[in-house]
Amino acid sequence: MSQRLFAAITLVFALLAWPLALAAEDILIADFEAKDYGDWKVTGEAFGPGPARGTLPGQMHVSGFEGKGLVNTFHKGDGTTGTLTSPPFAIERPFINFLIGGGGHAGTHVDLLVAGKAVRTARGPNTRSGGSEELDWMSWDVKELAGKQAVIQIVDKGTGGWGHINVDQIAQSDKKRMAVRGPASREVLMTKRYLHLPVKNGAKRVRMKVTVGEKIVDDFDIELADAEPSFWVFLDMEPYKGKTATLEVGRIREGSKGLAAITQDDDVPDAAGLYKEKHRPQFHFSSRRGWNNDPNGMVFYKGEWHLYYQHNPYGWKWGNMHWGHAVSKDLVHWTELPIAIYPFRHGDWVFSGSAAVDWNNTGGWQTGDEKVIVAAYTSTGRGEAIAYSNDRGHTFTDYEGNPVVKHGGRDPKIIWYAPGKHWVMAVFDERQKSKGVAFYTSPDLKKWTYESRIDGYFECPEIFELPVDGDKKNTKWVVYGADGAYATGSFDGKAFTPDGPKIRFNLGNCFYASQTFTDVPPEDGRRIQIAWGRVGHPTMPFNQMMDFPVELTLRTTDEGIRMFAEPVREIALLHRKKHAWQKVALEDGGDNPLKDAQGNLFHIVAEIAPGDAAQVGFNLRGTAVVYDAKKQELECRGRRAPLKLADGNIRLEILVDRTSVEIFGNQGRAYMPIGVIPPDGSRGIAAFARGGTATAARLVVHELKSAWQK
């Protein structure tokens, strides 16, 4: 008997014995732990010089692979293409299992080739924005192919969004590895206000739909915890008490306890510990649970400051965009209200936008005594949409004629242009190579006419008018985008004409997508801005915050007209204990005058003459704020802002919270919001001089109380 015939007979008997065999050792085809692909054949650029070590530059976080390496074709982004083909192997087990993630388009797939033909194919799970880079198990049943020679080919021919694929841990096995099953559902009679949902950071996202009768309450993606959750989120079911809610998931892991673990309560999860979490900002707004980013729809009406915001109520990461909602009577103490605007349908998210009061009922939507608050937002599957509220901004009705504007862009800002008696919409426009802001006008918020466009702005546009040096007869219009870089100029209700190039505004690391409040009454008259403060902590049940509100003004400087930012005066509502000094000498190596001020929340105001000192500044719970007298430059955590001496002095105003240090130089000429997580146990602050002696003509430290204290 030849050796080849003996091997064939042995293989046949082995295959016949599969149903009776005990679990045999898997046959590893590839685990991609080496520095290169070895005997695998590579074409194109997409696969890079070898297996990736996790996430590649510009990519969302990749998870779910085993070991340190994997195939990741995001090399140089989604635009690269190529193939990766294994050496031939004999099919010796009933299943081929592997981990797969990335794109699910026709151009991104894994094939099992026998005699050059694809006999099995698998694709990644993602075809649109908002997906996850997590890998999950896929299994091919190959019993009918036993004994045949095969190759595995990983293909990336996609060049658009999700034009890449992730693969790891390919093995032949006696067992099928399937990570999910589904769908599954559960019915809950609502006797209490909130559904509590368990979340596990990094778990596979599943789609969950909650319905009551024919009404879809919400339809969202969630990292549903199979066992012990990272934290709990909630869904407000107050309107549905006494009714039966159906909870459906599209798929769920074998043995998962996630659906069964969902419970109900009359309060949000861990209500007793809310706002007391270790890294919870104490006077910056942050959502009770989940993710927040851009502030939206900022409007003042009848004594209330309304802050809407981009919000994922069901997870720590970005996604599931709703409009969250909070109100304040003083810009410091915020009350979070139920979700204001839900997605139109699953995946058709509520992106950024704005709000204003329709004082003249131009839209015709007013039904009672309350004036209508109108919201303009991007509905991602439709375009620019309008919603309106007759109950002081608590709930909104989607305008039946949406979308009102459909173009290549997003993030509409609406204002009433009184001289022309019409509405203006400034909206991000990316139809051309040079991104910018498009301006539309409307008499009634329903029919919009394109008017003009300016280049050089990206996302979340803002437009408003401000007096120069407080002179209401001398005003300028201000336009800026998400980074806050602004231009002053003139605006005739249809077109903006800038005075010159854009000017940098914020010089910190914790600022994006700011917006200002509309409809502030004349007796107040301030232009107040809030930005997204981009800082978070993965151990918390919430993520990100808002920067502290600032008042914007235009002032004449030796460089021309510039925008200044100062913290709103309402910060004084949180003053608890005051320390004050006058004409204090700060000497290199000398005593620290602030040694008795202890805590983690501070409001500091200082006027300092550097004298012959090379540097002066503060150490604030481990974060140094340094002024270089020779360079006339302010520095904090690698960020720098020019700041000229004024009559030999600098004036610094600093707000210190648990996750941020916000610095205002020379009455807001320099604005540096800095996101930082201080070292555990760090509660002290210090003032210092280096290389000489400086004098603090005035030094005031207010220890602050939490805005969440009742």
pLDDT, residue 17, reads: 39
pLDDT, residue 24, reads: 55
In the three-class reduction of DSSP (H, G, I as helix; E, B as strand; rest coil), residue 563 is classed as strand
> Among this protein's residues, is 628 annotated catalytic?
no
Query: Which tens digits make up the pLDDT trace of 538-574?
Result: 899 999 999 999 999 999 999 999 999 999 999 999 9
What does the DSSP assignment read for 412-448? EEEEEEGGGTEEEEEEEE-SSSS-EEEEEEESSSSS-
Task: Give backbone dihedrals phi and psi of 144, rounded to 5 degrees, phi first.
Answer: -70, -10
Residue 280 has pLDDT above 50, yes or no: yes
Are residues 402 and 302 located together in one domain of the fold? yes
**What is the 3-class SS of 581-637, one letter each residue?**
EEEEEEECCCCCCCCCCECCCEEEEEEEECCCCCEEEEEECCEEEEEECCCCEEEEC
Query: Which tens digits make up the pLDDT trace of 281-332?
Result: 999 999 999 999 999 999 999 999 999 999 999 999 999 999 999 999 999 9
The residue written with tokens 């094939």 in the block is: 111
How are strands ordered across the β-sheet holding 244-249?
184-189, 244-249, 206-212, 215-222
Report d(CA 365, CA 359) in Å as an integer.
11
13 in a structural domain? no
Contact yes or no for 298/355 (Cβ under 8 A): yes
What does pTM read for this prediction? 0.80
Report d(CA 357, CA 363) in Å as an integer.
11
In the three-class reduction of DSSP (H, G, I as helix; E, B as strand; rest coil), residue 136 is classed as strand
If phi over 0 gives left and psi between -120 and 50 gives alpha, with beta otherwise, what is residue 64?
Answer: left
In the three-class reduction of DSSP (H, G, I as helix; E, B as strand; rest coil), residue 196 is classed as strand
Are residues 412 and 310 located together in one domain of the fold? yes
Q: Which of 111, 294, 358, 411 is catalytic?
A: 294
**pLDDT exceeding 90 applies to what percent of the chain?**
87
For the chain, the domain total comes to 4
104 in a structural domain? yes
Q: Answer with the one of 203, 235, 265 that is the final residue of a domain.
A: 265
Residue 646 vs residues 39, 150, 168: alpha-carbon distances, Å: 69, 77, 61
Contact yes or no for 661/608 (Cβ under 8 A): no
In the three-class reduction of DSSP (H, G, I as helix; E, B as strand; rest coil), residue 407 is classed as coil
Are residues 558 and 577 located together in one domain of the fold? no
Helix then strand then coil, in percent of the chain rounded to 5, is 5, 50, 45
pLDDT-derived band at 23 (thresholds 50, 70, 90) equals very low
Are residues 640 and 679 located together in one domain of the fold? yes
- 243: its two tokens: 């009714």
Are residues 225 and 144 located together in one domain of the fold? no
Residues making up the chain, counted from first to last = 710
Q: Answer with the one of 536, 567, 598 that is the final residue of a domain.
A: 567
The residue written with tokens 């000094």 in the block is: 581
**What is the 3-class SS of 216-268, one letter each residue?**
EEEEEEECECCCCCCEEEEEECHHHCCCEEEEEECCECCCCCHHHHCEEECCC
Are residues 254 and 152 located together in one domain of the fold? no
Are residues 287 and 408 located together in one domain of the fold? yes
If phi over 0 gives left and psi between -120 and 50 gives alpha, with beta otherwise, what is residue 585?
Answer: beta
Give, in degrees to the nearest 5, the angle at Cα 392 between 386 and 393. 40
Are residues 208 and 119 located together in one domain of the fold? no
The residue written with tokens 């909070």 in the block is: 326
Residue 469 has pLDDT above 70, yes or no: yes
Are residues 256 and 312 located together in one domain of the fold? no
48 in a structural domain? yes
Q: Answer with the one of 241, 265, 289 that is the final residue of a domain.
A: 265
CATH of the domain at 114: 2.60.120.200
Are residues 386 and 534 located together in one domain of the fold? yes
Domain that holds residue 105: 20-173
Report d(CA 521, CA 538) in Å as an integer.
40
Query: Which tens digits make up the pLDDT trace of 340-387?
Result: 999 999 989 999 999 999 999 999 999 999 999 999 999 999 999 999
Are residues 345 and 387 located together in one domain of the fold? yes
Mean pLDDT confidence for 652-667: 97
Are residues 422 and 530 located together in one domain of the fold? yes
End-to-end alpha carbon distance in the chain: 90
